Amino acid sequence: MKLLSSLITLCTIQSVISSYCFWNTGCPYKYFSNKTPYNSVRGDIRDSAIKLTGCEPVSIWTLIRHGQRNPGTEFGIHMKAALVISDYLKSAYEKGDSSLCAQDIENLRNWPINKDLFDKPFQLTKEGFLESEGIGRRLKQAFPKLLENLESNEYLFRPAPGPWMAESVNGFVQGISSKPLTIESPRPDFDILSPYDNCPRYLKEVKTNPETYAPSMKYQSSSEYLVSKDRIQRRLGIDYPLTPTNITALYDLCRYTSSGITNTFSPWCALFTTEDLKVMEYVADLRHYYKSGYGTPMSELFGQITLTDLLKSFQEAKSGKGRKITAYISHATMMDMLHTALKLFKDDAPLSSSKRKPDRKWRSSKLAIFSANLMAVLNKCNKGPDDYNVVFYLNEEPLQAICKEGVCTWKEFEDKLTPFLNTNTEFCNDYPNLRRETHQMTSPAYGEVKNSFRFLLTKNHPPGLTLPAFQARVPVNPLGSTQLQGSITLNWKNIDNFKSRERIM
């Protein structure tokens, strides 16, 4: 009876997988963690701007993540190696081993390769530029009187270091004004836009600390992840085991080559079911949470440092000496830290490495997407000289969680941010008793991962390693990694399972 039940379950699962065709899916899953295209999930400040009777906007402050860019060097290498999978999928389909649909296979075969995606790491894409330009343009249309004919002392635009940051702020400024406006140069030594980059303590205890990434790695050993991994394996129908890094490379092809501007999803997304995409999203959520969210107490402190600029900016505007608009371009890491400092999107318990919580508040697909932005608008009202309020927006939608109906009185605003003035970066060199918000890692595999992580941070592959030759009847993994067997050991063959990936920016 148990055998019959198992066979029925297996057949049901296979039937569900076989019946799923991505190409004609009416509403594909669009949440790709920090690589989610902005236009797929954004609001529209022109429609959502809160108009208060007797009030007019006098100043805007915003921090915006850079627009869509090409992957970093390491990611690009894995993604480029993964392109050969389309040939193997066609073969698997013709043999009846793949459950992908014929049109999905054809779309993959006809997918045009953009060499810039791999050859120009970190370069802002056309989509990314249009994302930034669109934010500026809609902001100008939402607040035309405030942002018309800006004088040099009425605005400040500055990016964090990096050419993709510079291009993003160029796009934003083009959307704001048809005439040239001055853009302030980045500050490479220390800047409120990325204070963590100049903090030795953060770099040592968080960014390069194996414990930071252990929850995400442990989740890749959970039953939920392994079920998804097996489902992808059977859906593709290829005859060699995929590693987590192989799967991530295919996932990256899906999300880096989807467009919110044209509302088109990459044919590479056909390799995943909706449930698979949710699992991959959670892998990234864990990294964000423990690297730049509530999983480390330093996140809150860095966010407070940046938010003091918002407070000072509006205090100056309130006194009649401030700017009409202040706009910064930064990283996903900084977006996470702002949310943490404001106590937004905090779950009752830390994110678990053993099981995904579907209704969690911490979602990188909403908080740290390409071109994610936090805006604050200072309004002056007519009930008296001190009658001001502040409205917050996240991705062009009112942020109602921060104050009642998204509108903070001036007192509420000052009460929230004034304590941040006491925050400084002295903790970067001192070592008070700050504790990471995480679970004890009791898995035997964790000790092995922990002991090998320093090696994995610096070692990508052995010198001279080339893409494998594909020989007939030999189960070679075409995505660039030798098959893994046995227990975890310190040699390059197991890097694909546990290697440290590019920083989340």
466, 35 contact by CB (below 8 A): no
The CA distance from 68 to 38, in Å, is 8
CA angle 241, 364, 23 (to 5 degrees): 55
In this structure, is residue 27 part of a structural domain?
Answer: no
Q: How far is CA 277 from the centre of its chain?
A: 14
As a whole-number percent, the residues of the chain with pLDDT over 90 amount to 77
The CA distance from 196 to 212, in Å, is 15
CA dihedral 362, 367, 368, 370 (to 10 degrees): 140
Those residues with Cβ within 8 angstroms of residue 180's Cβ, 6 or more apart along the chain or in another chain:
none
461: pLDDT strictly greater than 70: no
The string of pLDDT tens digits covering residues 442-458 is 332 333 333 333 223 33
In this structure, is residue 321 part of a structural domain?
Answer: yes
Question: Among 8-22, 35-49, 366-380, 417-431, which stretch is predicted with the lowest mean pLDDT?
Answer: 8-22
Give the mean model confidence (pLDDT) for residues 421-427: 94
In this structure, is residue 88 part of a structural domain?
Answer: no
What's phi and psi for 408, nearest 5 deg?
Answer: -100, 135
In this structure, is residue 451 part of a structural domain?
Answer: yes
Task: Give the type of residue at 306.
Answer: T
Count structural domains, the chain.
1
In this prediction, residue 432 carries a pLDDT of 53
The string of pLDDT tens digits covering residues 89-116 is 999 999 999 999 999 999 999 999 999 9
Task: Give the type of residue at 122.
Answer: F
CATH number at residue 490: 3.40.50.1240
In this structure, is residue 246 part of a structural domain?
Answer: no
* Residue range of the domain that includes 376: 39-72+122-233+270-462+477-498
In this structure, is residue 103 part of a structural domain?
Answer: no
| pLDDT band per the 50, 70, 90 thresholds, residue 26 | confident
Spatial CA neighbour of 453 closest among 420, 393, 394, 494: 494
78, 223 contact by CB (below 8 A): no
Give the mean model confidence (pLDDT) for residues 419-423: 97
The CA distance from 415 to 269, in Å, is 46
The string of pLDDT tens digits covering residues 255-312 is 999 999 999 999 999 999 999 999 999 999 999 999 999 999 999 999 999 999 999 9
482: pLDDT strictly greater than 70: no
The helix or strand, by DSSP H or E, that contains position 263, with its residue range, turns out to be none
Task: Give the type of residue at 166.
Answer: A
CA dihedral 155, 161, 167, 173 (to 10 degrees): 0
Give the mean model confidence (pLDDT) for residues 480-490: 35
Query: Three-state DSSP class for 312?
Result: helix
In this structure, is residue 105 part of a structural domain?
Answer: no
The string of pLDDT tens digits covering residues 384-400 is 888 999 999 999 999 99
| pLDDT band per the 50, 70, 90 thresholds, residue 25 | confident
133, 37 contact by CB (below 8 A): no
Residue 18 burial by Cβ neighbours in a 10 Å radius (0-12, 13-18, 19+): middle
In this prediction, residue 240 carries a pLDDT of 84
Average pLDDT score over the chain: 85
The CA distance from 454 to 357, in Å, is 30
Q: Which two tokens stand for residue 133?
A: 């330009």
173: pLDDT strictly greater than 80: yes
Query: Three-state DSSP class for 46?
Result: helix
Please report where in the chains the tokens 């500055």 appear, as a residue.
158
Q: Which two tokens stand for residue 261?
A: 């501007």
In this structure, is residue 389 part of a structural domain?
Answer: yes
